[in-house]
Structures are given as C-alpha cells and as structure tokens.
Copies of this chain bind each other. A is one copy, B any other.
Amino acid sequence: MIVEIISIGTELILGDLIDTNAAYIAQKITASGFNIHYMTTVGDNRDRMVDTLARAIKRSELIITTGGLGPTDDDLTREAIAESTGCPLQEESELLQHLVNYFKQRNYQMTANNRKQVLLPEGARIIKNQLGTAPGILLEKKDYTIIAMPGVPGEMQAMLTTEVIPYLKKYSKDLIKSRVLKFFMIGESTLETQLKDILERQTNPTMALLAGRGEVKLRITAKASSAQKADLLLDRAEETIRERTAQYIYSNNDQDLAEVVGQLLEKKGLTLALAESCTGGLLGNRITDIPGSSAYFSGGLVTYSNQSKIEQLGVQVLTLEKHGAVSRESVAEMAEGVRNKMSSDLGLSVSGIAGPGGGNAEKPVGLIFIALADREKTVTYRHKLHRDRIWNKWMSSQYALYYLYQYLTKI
C-alpha cells in the first residue's frame, strides 16, 4: 500500500516550526508495514492544498494529513478535502453535541468559529480526539483513503496510536511488532561498527539505529503472521545484539531512564532524594514525569547558591572554600546532606558549570560532578560536557540517572 504524508501549516512553510509530525507518522506507519513514497508540506493556502491532495489521490492509496483542522479561518483542511474529493461538507450533529459538552465541562465560552469543527466531508467518519476539540477525519473511497489528523503533536500522536494504527491493521495481513533497545555510554558510530555485520545481513527483523538525545536507540521490527512469531523473532534479534553490547542497554521497550530507575526504586523499596545545582530541577522534573513517583521520590533541593548549599544541605564552608562548589568534595557532601535531610535511602546530587558563563581555566564550562550516597558510602563521578547550556543540563541529568540505574541493578 503506497502512503503519502501531507503536513499542512504556514508556520511549517515559513520554517517557524520544524515538522516533527511527519517523521513521527512515518516511523509508526513504516513499522506497520506500509511504504511511504512522498511527504509534502503546504501552507494554509486552499488552492495549493487542493492541488497537493488531488495529486496524492492520483499517486497514493493512503493519504495522511496533519494540521489545518482547528477552528480558525486559516484552518482549511476540511474544505480542501471536500473540494479535492468532491464530497461536500456537512454538519455532524453528534459531533456538535460532543463539542458543546467539551466547552461546558471546562466552563469555556464556545466561540462561533468552533462550529466549523463539526463539518465533515460527505461519507466521512470522525476519528476521536481525546486531547482536543478538533476531531480527525476518515474518508474511505474506492481507490484511496484519506486520514486527516490535527497538527498539535500531542493530539496527533494520541490519535495515531490509539485510533489510526489499529484501523490500518485491516490493510496488512502480516502483523508488525517492533522493540526499541536504548543504549547509553556508547556513541552511534561506535555501536554501528560493533554491529555492522548484524545490521547488514538483516532482513526480518529489520534494524535501524537512531540517534537519541545523548543516547542511541536501536529499533528492531519483525513481520510475522502472529504476535507470538513476531516476539520470537524479536527475542532472537535482541539476544544477538545483547551478546555484544549488553552492558550499554538499559531498556528494551523505549523507556526513559527516569522510568527505568523509578521501576527499580519501587521494586527494591528504596526512596530517593535529589540535590541539584546546575540541573536546576531538571532531574526532579524527569523523576516526577513518571506517574506514581511519589512512592519512591522523597523530594529534592535546588541549591543554586553556595549559601543555600551550606544552609540547606549542610555542606561545609571549608569544603566550598577549599575545593569550590563544583568539585567531588562538595557534590559528595550535597548527596549526603540531602539524603539525611529528606531521611531517604539514597541521595543523588549534581553540581557543574552549565555555561555559557561561569567557567575558567581550572573549572571550564561543561565540567560537572555527580554523587550518589547510600547509608554506607558515597561515590562521585566527573564529566566534561561540550555543548550549550541546555545540552549540558540534559546530559548531567542523563549521567546522574544512569549511575543511579547501574547502582540499582547491582544491589
């Protein structure tokens, strides 16, 4: 089945927004066993949208669009689909009720332009949108199918995974399952070299290396007649990968480090407290992004100044004077301090120079220290990072979570 993706939005054409939707859809659709031939981006211009849709209808069997379903005047996807397919727009009463309720629940004023969102091309069905007001559109014709989704990434992603992908199952006999291994402490090119022969001889399952944010992903995708058979293929593939690189793998289902760490803390019945300097709360934010984290997260302190390190964490004045705030000694006292203060089993701390300012010859920008303290001992780690402030903060949190992960897998 030939698939074409159309991204709609003037902000995309102007380059004000990077189109992450197309890649997201492409990955899921490819993983479902379909072939994407084209991706096109058009602005909120009716004629060009109609022109693009008409061409897609000629050359593709499944056309997936994102964007242009909102309530405003420059949201023209409905109109463009109606014109290019010859299916006039009609008001969907059930949809109107849903929309009215949506606004009632939130005590919002429903403005007139919202009414636009209850229009559907003749013969089309709606696709549920759990997260927003704009429903998706499913239009099945003899030679092609059009699926229109909103452009807001969160809404589109939820709609794609919960509604669209299950619907597409009927078009492919074989079922496709994929598994994402996540690697840390090894670069993409090194990993590729180590797995070269495996990656080259792959057919089913297929494997793709993807660079993540300071980590590497390997997606294994198997095609089989049953879930059981697919799982077997995935298990075998994962095994051969692990034989060479097990020590770098921290997840085999695309989890974030914070989630893996959270599950381990819960399983072992341990509590965690955080003392953050350069990460400024990022670590706590990642830990608490995981539902149920209150079960193992005691809390944290963001000690940005020396004063607060002394007053809040009991770091010795002498230590700060002698070694500075960014040092093994200080970060160790931070981890021990927060562990005692929050009376938790473990204390994890980060201190460093995120940049762009604050560095010097001895303590350059990107220098970070991490400490992990339990009842018996405190272990410290040193890293030198090399990019901008946001990256340095992110990688500091990655390393901190990774060392905690290693600790938890060893006890």
Contacts and interface: CB of A to CB of B under 8 A. Distances in A.
B42 A14 contact: no
A111 B193 CA distance: 8
B38 A22 contact: no
B285 A281 contact: yes
A11 interface: yes
A342 B308 contact: yes
Nearest to A384: B106
Interface string A385-397: 0111111010000
A33 to B, nearest CB: 13
Q: Which of A211, A343, A393 is packed against the most chain B CB atoms within 10 Å?
A: A211
Contacts of A131: 387-388
Contacts of A28: 15
A37 B43 contact: yes
A302 B304 contact: no
Contacts of A192: 71-73, 111, 113
Q: Give the secondary structure class of A's interface.
A: mixed
A72 B216 CA distance: 13
Contact of A15 (B27, B42, B105, B301): B27
B393 A289 contact: yes
A112 interface: yes
Contact of A13 (B37, B48, B74, B358): B37
Interface in A108-122: 108-109, 111-114
A341 interface: yes
Contacts of A288: 278-282, 302, 304, 354, 393
B23 A15 contact: yes
A151 B6 CA distance: 21
A131 to B, nearest CB: 6
Contacts of A299: 301-305, 308, 312
B23 A19 contact: yes
Contacts of A289: 280, 389-390, 393
A279 B283 CA distance: 12
Interface in A257-302: 274, 276, 278-289, 291-294, 297-302
Given A288-B281, A300-B302, A304-B297, A19 B17 contact: no
B14 A30 contact: yes
Interface residues on A, range: 35 or more
A23 to B, nearest CB: 4
Q: Which of A72, A188, A221, A357 is packed against the most chain B CB atoms within 10 Å?
A: A72
Contacts of A44: 208
A314 interface: no
A42 B48 contact: no
Q: Which of A15, A27, A36, A289 is packed against the most chain B CB atoms within 10 Å?
A: A15
Given A284-B276, A305-B294, A72 B209 contact: yes
B187 A108 contact: yes
A30 B18 contact: no
Nearest to A287: B280
12 contacts: A12-B23, A15-B26, A16-B219, A22-B41, A38-B42, A70-B189, A74-B209, A106-B386, A111-B190, A131-B387, A281-B287, A289-B390
Given A12-B23, A312-B342, 10 more contacts: A13-B36, A15-B22, A37-B43, A37-B48, A38-B52, A72-B209, A73-B192, A113-B189, A114-B189, A282-B285
